[in-house]
Structure 1
Amino acid sequence: MKRLLITGAAGGLGSLARRRLAGLADILRLSDIADLGQAAPHEELVPCELSDFAKVKSLVGGCDGIVHFGGISVENTWEKILPANIAGTYNIYEAARLTGVKRVFFASSNHAIGFYKRETRIDATDPVRPDSLYGVSKCFGEALARYYYDKYRVETAVVRIGSCFPEPKDHRMMATWLSENDLVSLIERVFTAAKLGYVTVFGASDNEEQWWDNRCAGFLGWRPKDSSEPFREKIDATCEKPESDAPVNRYHGGAFAIARLD
C-alpha cells in the first residue's frame, strides 16, 4: 500500500499500530483529536473530528486502506457515543466509498456480544447481544460495514477485540486477552489477504479458556501465537478471584453488562 490511514492514532491501540505497522505502507496517515506529537518521515499527521464529514472525506482521500480505531472506546452517554461512534463510523465508510478505499479494519468489540453467558461459546453466526451503549455503537458499525460491502464492495474485517494490553490484568482477561503481537499480525493479515470480503474475527490470543470460535474466519489464515497462560501465576497471586455468579464471571462483557450511567 502507498498510504494507510489509522484513526484514533493517539489512543492505546492506535499508538501500537503507529509503532508497529510502518512496514505495511509507504506512508502512515495518522488521525486523532488528541495530540499526535511529531511526525516521523514516513508519517502524515491529520487531526480530524470524525463527526465532520467534509473533514473525514479529505482525511480518507488518497488512502489505500483504513484501520479504524477512532471513537469512544468505553461506555459513555448517548450524546457522546452518537457523534463519535455512530456518525463518525458512517462518515468513514461513506468517505471510503466516495474516494475508492476498498479495505477497512474495523475495531469492533467483545461488548457487541457481551450479554452471552461465560459458558456459551459462540461464533460469527450468533446474533449480537450488546451489553452497553458502547456495544450498541459497535453493532451499528458492524451492520454498516456489512451494508457497504454488500452494496459497494468495500471489504471489511470486523474485529471484536477482547482485551488488548501488554499482559492480562485480571482473571477475566485470561480468556479475553489479545496480545499486541497477535493484534499486529491480524492487521497485517487483513491487508495482505488476497480476498477479504466481509468477515467477523474474534480478537483473542490462543488462550486456554476460549469463549469465541473463529472458524468462520479460517480462510484468512490468521493464527494467534501467544497465550495468557504464562501470566496465570501472577494473576492468581495479585488479583482476587470474583465469586462464581459475579457479573465479571457470568457474561462475556464482564462488568459492562451491569454498568449504568444513571
Structure 2
Amino acid sequence: MDVKLGRVVITGAAGRIGPTVREGLREDADHLVLVDTADIQPEDGAETAVEADIGDRAALCEAFRGADAVVHLAAITDEAGFDDLLDANVRGTLNVLEAARRAGVPRVVLFSSNRVTGNYPIHHHVFPDEPPRPDGFYGVTKVAAEALGQLYADTFGLEVVALRVGSFEEQPTETRHLATWLSPRDCVGFVRAAITAPNVNFVAAYAVSGNARRFWDLSVGESELGYRPVDDASVYAGDFPDDDPFWHGGPQGGDFAGPEALLPHLGE
C-alpha cells in the first residue's frame, strides 16, 4: 500500500479484535502505540506499549501525543449491566475523544456496532442515516458513543469515523453470520480506509463483509471511505440449514434482542 498511516494509537490492543488490527496496520504505520490494561510486548522499535485504562484521561492524553490517528477498540463488547456499560462505552469514549482533542490528534476511528440498529426486522435494508433502534443496553451505549463523535466533529473539528462493526470472526459460526460476518481481512480494510480517507468530518458506516444476505447498506463506506469489502459469507452457506428459524422474521440482532437478553441485566 502506498499510503503511510503515520503514528497510530490502538486502544484495547490486547482485546479480541486488537491483535488483528495491530498486525494489519504494522506494515503501513510509522509507529503503533498499543494501549490496554493488559501487558503487551512490543515486537520491535516500531511499537510502543502503554498500560492504561480508558478511564484515565491524563494517561490517554500522554499516550496520544504526536499521533496522527486513534483507533478506539476498548469497550465492553456485549450486553452487561447499564452502569458498567455507561462507564466503559460512553465515559470511556468521551475520555478518548477529549484526550485526542487535547493532544491534537486529527482523527479518531470509533468502533461502534451493528447493534445500534439491531431491532430493525431482518427484511429491512438499513442505511446509516436511519434512526437508531438498538437491541439492548450495549447498543444504546454505542448510539451514545456515535453521538459523542458527532458532537466532537461538529464542535471541535475532530475528524471522526464510526464503524458499525458486524460479527468479527475468522469465518461464520452461526446462521446469523451469513448476514453479519466481518472477516479479518475486511476489518483491517475498513480500519485502514477510516484512517486515510480524505475530507472527513463525521462518518458513520457499516463495516461488514460483502455478504449477499447482509442487512446493511455499504454505500457510505464505499463513497466516503473508499472501501469495498472483498469477502462474502455466502461461501459458507452450505454449513447452515436453509430453514433456520432466524430467517423466518424477527430482529436483526437475533438472540441479542428481546426480553430474554435484557432482563438478566435489569435486576429485580
Taking structure 2 as the reference length, the TM-score comes to: 0.90
Query: Paired residue for 2:62?
Result: 58
Q: Do the aligned partners of 1:157 and 1:199 also contact (CA within 8 Å) in 2?
A: yes
CA contact (8 A) 2:14 2:40 kept: yes
After superposition, the C-alpha distances for 1:81-125 in whole angstroms (9 at most, x for unaligned) are 122111110000011111111111110001111111101111012
Identity, % of aligned positions: 35
The answer to whether the Cα contact below 8 Å between 1:63 and 1:101 also exists between their aligned partners in 2 is yes
SS for the counterpart of 1:46 is strand
- Provide the residue aligned with 1:141 in structure 2: 145
Pairwise mapping of residues 106-145 of structure 1 onto structure 2 (< 5 A)? Answer: 106-145=110-149
Q: CA deviation at 1:220?
A: 2.3
Deviation digits for residues 190-209 of structure 1 (CA, Å, limit 9, x no counterpart): 22222222111111111111
2: CA distance, partners of 1:94 / 1:244: 42
In structure 1, distance between residues paired with 2:236 and 2:139 = 28
The alpha carbon displacement at 1:243 in A equals 5.6
Are 1:234 and 2:239 counterparts? yes
Q: Which moved more, 1:133-142 or 1:28-37?
A: 28-37
Q: Match for residue 252 of structure 1?
A: 252
For 2:181, the equivalent position in structure 1 comes to 177
2:163 equivalent to 1:168: no
Q: Kindly tell me: are residues 243 and 220 of structure 1, through their superposed partners in 2, closer, same or farther at Cα, counting changes over 3 Å?
A: closer
Secondary structure of 1:250's match?
coil
Contact 2:79 2:136 survives alignment (8 Å): yes
Q: What residue ranges of structure 1 are gaps of 5+ in the alignment? A: none
Contact kept, 8 Å, 1:89 with 1:141, in 2: the verdict is yes
Q: Aligned equivalents of 1:182 and 1:244: distance in 2?
A: 25
Question: Is the 8 Å Cα contact of residues 39 and 45 (structure 1) preserved in structure 2?
Answer: no
Structure 2's unaligned 5+ residue stretches are none
Q: 1:3 to 1:115 in 2, by over 3 A?
A: same
Partner of 1:98: 102
Secondary structure class of the residue paired with 1:26: strand
What is the root-mean-square deviation of aligned Cα atoms in Å? Answer: 1.7
Which has the larger displacement, 199-208 or 210-219?
Answer: 210-219
Measured after TM superposition, the shift of residue 145 of structure 1 is 0.5
Structure 1 letter corresponding to 2:20: L
Aligned counterparts of 1:112 and 1:15: Cα–Cα separation in 2: 24
Q: For residue 116 of structure 1, give the secondary structure of its aligned residue in structure 2.
A: coil
Give the aligned length. 257
Q: Are 1:24 and 1:188, in contact at CA under 8 Å, matched by a contact in 2?
A: no
Q: In the superposition, relative to structure 1, how do residues 24 and 233 fare at CA in structure 2: closer, same or farther (>3 Å)?
A: same
Contact 1:60/1:92, CA 8 A, preserved across alignment: no
Residue 110 of structure 1 contacts residue 252 of structure 1 at CA under 8 Å; is this kept in 2? no
> What is the TM-score normalised by the length of structure 1?
0.92
1:205-224 equivalence runs, <5 A: 205-217=209-221, 218-224=223-229
2:38 pairs with 1:34: yes
1:16, distance to aligned residue in structure 2 (A) = 0.5
